[in-house]
A and B are shown apart, each in its own frame.
Chain A
Amino acid sequence: MFDVPGWPGHLPGQHVDVRLTAEDGYSVQRSYSISSAPDGNRVELAVQRVVDGEVSPYLCDVLSVGDKIELRGPVGGWFVWRPADQAPVTLVAGGSGIAPLMAMVRTRASEGSRVPFRLVYSVRTPDDVLFADELRRRARDDAGLDVRLVYTRQTPEGSPEPPGRLGVATLNTYGWPAEFTPNCFVCGPTGFVETVSDILVALGHDLRRVRTERFG
């Protein structure tokens, strides 16, 4: 969570570029999606630690409250949901790909939007669910929001279904049918995004309505 003086506000789905510069001038830059709804100068990022990564371990383990970092943004006007668009929305997240989709879910609520949303969120195990409590609460309280979790390695205790990869059947059942011409937003690791967008196109979705954000 960052407090950014002079933050101009953002659209849900946009990202920032974080730059870290060492004393000798060496600098590295990575992109992170904004997970919060617009709220004054506050900007929330959800960063997943990549073992032996250059930037994410620093953000997760070293950075602490009160530290300053260099942020550039908000940027990106394409992978965004605009509340004025009344088409139903299918969101598909893999792992930390939930971040920009969370901003959309939160903005929908804060704007009082009635656009029907369906979120399909793929994680390895129940411990990997980001925003778990908030999603549970919103699935109950936010009218018109459906949330479906898919576990690929280990399911919660007592779950009737075995773990498994997100496939055609799940997207067909828990996303909007192509005939409703929904806007689809797919975000996560590159391989995940490729698989999901191929499935959506196979299910008859117009590629122009499938917007993707590959995390690499």
Chain B
Amino acid sequence: MSDDHVDGNALAGDLREIFAVDLTTATGRCAGCGYRGSVATLRVYRNAPGLVARCPHCEEVVLRLVRGRDRAWLDLRGTVSLEIPLPS
């Protein structure tokens, strides 16, 4: 698989399998530098074990998703908060 990163938007399918709403349009805040932006704007690297999403501003890891056959691990240590739009 390509070494080049893709956009957080590419996480949409895997996150949608876990959450009831589209998480890529949520606004996240980076624990490293305070950057606020849509999850879709993160830089996603796919060559690490699982998917690693880094802050486009400070490059710190803000989200990590590892999938196994029957479970997924979501590591959000690098995220202060997520503001998630809900269908009204």
Contact = CB atoms under 8 A, between A and B. Distances in A.
Interface of A: 15-17, 29, 31, 54, 72-73, 75-79, 189-191, 211-216
Interface stretch (B5-13, B58-66, B75-83): B5-13
Nearest to A214: B6
Contacts of B88: none
A216 B22 contact: no
A29 B25 CA distance: 22
A190 B7 CA distance: 9
Interface of B: 1-2, 4-10, 12-14, 16-17, 22, 24-25, 38, 40-41, 46
Given A76-B10, A76-B12, A189-B4, 18 more contacts: A16-B13, A17-B13, A31-B10, A31-B13, A73-B13, A75-B13, A75-B22, A76-B13, A76-B40, A78-B38, A79-B7, A79-B9, A190-B2, A212-B7, A214-B6, A214-B7, A215-B6, A216-B6
A215 B17 CA distance: 21
Contacts of B10: 15, 31, 76, 214
Tell me if A's interface is mostly helix, strand, loop or mixed: strand
B4 A76 contact: no
Contacts of A16: 13
